[in-house]
A = this chain, B = another copy of it.
């Protein structure tokens, strides 16, 4: 899906000041990173590694698996399309509502798709797609349930997208667990961990044979030189990129509570973002109002499979920004 995702900030030029439409914190200080990138600019004059082996090696060391278990991709989206390609024409089961690209990748490669919601009742399929924490609901599944599913379906690829893992305090699948599982593919995103969605760097961790298959399904030079350099830098400077999952979650709960007071229905969340539902009004109207009157961007969530035009999603930012959001939406609810 080219149109219809969150963080469509690019559409609004200078009109938006407060971006709640992306599930990423917006107040990271990138000055050291960009300073570093300025010193490695000469890398644009040569081809990048055809596959980012050196970055894969560094990530493997960091998360304590073998380099053979790690595949760096052009954002996590690239991983989704490679997996869908490998499983072309087969059966996919996707837990909804969720990030749209699993479905789009599966459609692009002619999968027979079954949607489901109940983790205890997963359709038989060649690939099962879970998002955990789940976008857009913020729900984190009990990790034992995921490992149980993995055990019971050993010929199924179980794709667990943990792009938002750093935004929850609940336990998620570890790289070692994915490697040992035999069938779990863990998707991770430097984009979300370091708040650098412009750079496009994701990676996956999987058992060796699966990782090898996904690596060969990629095209050469899929990740550009500056993204590779940024990835290497960031791995060495994780401490500078602290995500305060506890505070962000508390802020998300506070926003939800305030929204409920205004008459908005909010799903329970285990991380920094909340799925919200209006009664008898359209999320697209609220989005338009907020951009035009409050320089605020939210995610119209109506195009998630299983949702309708009443849904929107917001991600907690700083307390001050969240106050502005609560106030602005409260105002619209009284119109």
Residues of A within 8 A of B (CB): 1-3, 5, 7-10, 19, 22, 26, 28, 30, 33-34, 37-38, 41-51, 54, 74-75, 77-78, 80-81, 85, 88, 101, 104-105, 108, 195-200, 215-222, 224-227, 230
Q: Which one of B38, B47, B78, B224 contacts A22 once the chains associate, using CB atoms below 8 Å?
A: B47
Which residues of the other chain, B, contact A227 by a CB distance below 8 angstroms? 224
Return the contact of A230 from the options B44, B195, B220 (Cβ within 8 A). Answer: B44
Chain B residues lying within 8 Å of A199, measured Cβ to Cβ, are 44, 224-226
> Are A44's CB and B198's CB within 8 A?
yes
Given contacts A33-B44, A48-B200, 17 further A-B contacts (CB under 8 A): A1-B220, A2-B216, A5-B220, A7-B46, A9-B47, A10-B47, A10-B54, A48-B198, A74-B74, A74-B224, A77-B220, A85-B85, A101-B220, A105-B219, A199-B224, A200-B222, A200-B224
Establish whether residues B198 and A77, one from each chain, have CB atoms under 8 Å apart when the complex forms. no
Q: Please, how many angstroms separate the alpha-carbon atoms of A259 and B104 in the complex?
A: 53
> With A77-B220, A219-B78 known to touch, is A197 a contact of B45 (CB < 8 Å)?
yes
Return the contact of A30 from the options B2, B44, B51, B78 (Cβ within 8 A): B44
Closest to A80 in B: B219
A218 to B48 alpha-carbon distance, docked (Å)? 21
Out of B45, B49, B105, which one reaches A10, CB within 8 Å?
A: B49
Task: Using CB atoms, name the residue of chain B closest to A222.
Answer: B74
Q: Which residues of B contact A220 (CB under 8 A)?
A: 1-2, 5, 77, 101
Q: How far is A219 from B218 in the complex, measured between Cα atoms in Å? A: 13
Known contacts A77-B219, A220-B77, A222-B74; A198/B7 CB under 8 A: no
CB-contact partner of A108 in B198, B217, B225, under 8 A: B217
Tell whether, in the assembled complex, residue B221 and residue A50 are in contact, meaning their CB atoms are under 8 Å apart.
Answer: no
Contact at B224–A10, with CB atoms within 8 Å? Answer: no
Q: Contacts A45-B26, A74-B74 given; indicate if A198 touches B219 (C-beta within 8 A).
A: no
Closest Cβ of chain B to A6, distance in Å, is 8
Distance in Å: Cβ of A123 to nearest Cβ of chain B: 25
Which B residues are in CB contact (< 8 Å) with A78? 219, 222
- A43 — which chain B residues lie within 8 A by C-beta? 198
Distance from A72 Cβ to chain B, minimum over Cβ atoms (Å): 12
Would you list 22 pairs from A and B whose C-beta atoms are within 8 A, ordered by A residue?
A1-B220, A3-B50, A5-B220, A9-B46, A19-B46, A22-B47, A33-B44, A34-B44, A37-B41, A44-B196, A45-B196, A45-B198, A47-B197, A48-B197, A48-B200, A74-B74, A77-B220, A198-B225, A198-B226, A199-B224, A199-B226, A200-B224
